[in-house]
Structure 1
Amino acid sequence: MIGRLHHTIFDARDPRACAEFWSALLGEPVTYDDGEFVVVSRDSETSGLAFQLAPDHVAPTWPDAAVPQQIHLDVMTDDPAVAGMEAIGLGARHLRDDVYADPAGHPFCLIRRPAWAPPLA
């Protein structure tokens, strides 16, 4: 092993808004924020999602490949339909089926929790 995953980093025009969205969606706190780089993780010593300032970021146009999706996350949930409504309430945009976009346009999927995964708290 050469290393271990630290943060998954998204470019965003407004890193704080993206972090607040993902913080609310995943129930994890914002643990670092210098205005240009914002981290969402369980605590300040745990890897998580990070959002860095990219003033010229262009939102993905998925499913149209004109601007690729760049990255996407699968978020497990007990009920994707209910979770989808809650995500929209947080600022997500519904794209189709169980696919949504965060406030910066990054696509993510709400998937039913696999049987092997422990119940969501």
Structure 2
Amino acid sequence: MSAHLQLVAITLDCADPEALAEFYHRATGFELHPESGREFAGLNRADGLFLGFQRVDNYRAPQWPDQTVPQQIHLDFKVDDLDLAEAVLLELGATKPAYQPIGDKGRVLVDPAGHPFCITLV
């Protein structure tokens, strides 16, 4: 017996859902969910995937690569131009840690709430 699971949503903890939703909206172009607010915000992708952001009291950002506060989630995005994608994401508020384990085919960045994510060449 097997079950087919369809991923429909990913939710990240953070201190400021609206700000993190705006970062990922500008980075991905996903549409802002009309009922987004201070406690919970979200983005809709055209194929139905929902990316959510929920406010957590006393949120502690992940520390990467140090695991003092482990990463709770890790997102990966494909891009066709690493340098351009990195520049845009840094301008939007991402940061780039010194430790870069991927090599020439990708980069690790950190979103404004501290979640590490990767961009890799298509």
- In the TM superposition, what is the alpha-carbon distance from 1:35 to its structure 2 partner? 2.2
- In the TM superposition, what is the alpha-carbon distance from 1:22 to its structure 2 partner? 0.5
Matches within 5 A, 1:38-77: 38-42=41-45, 46-77=48-79
The C-alpha deviation readout for 1:88-118, integer Å capped at 9, x for no partner, is: 00010111431111110000001001xxxxx
- In the TM superposition, what is the alpha-carbon distance from 1:29 to its structure 2 partner? 1.4
- In the TM superposition, what is the alpha-carbon distance from 1:17 to its structure 2 partner? 0.5
- In the TM superposition, what is the alpha-carbon distance from 1:74 to its structure 2 partner? 0.7
The C-alpha deviation readout for 1:3-45, integer Å capped at 9, x for no partner, is: 43221000010000000000111111111403211111125x8
Moved beyond 4 Å, runs of 4+: none
> CA RMSD, aligned part only?
1.6
SS in structure 2 opposite 1:85? helix
Which residue identity lines up with residue 51 of structure 2 in the other structure? L
Q: What stretches of structure 1 of length at least 5 have no aligned partner? A: 114-121
d(CA) in 2 for partners of 1:5, 1:55: 27
Taking structure 1 as the reference length, the TM-score comes to 0.85
The question of 1:11 aligning with 2:13 is answered: yes
Among 24, 31, 34, the alignment partner of 2:37 is 34
Q: How many residues align?
A: 112
d(CA) in 1 for partners of 2:116, 2:32: 20
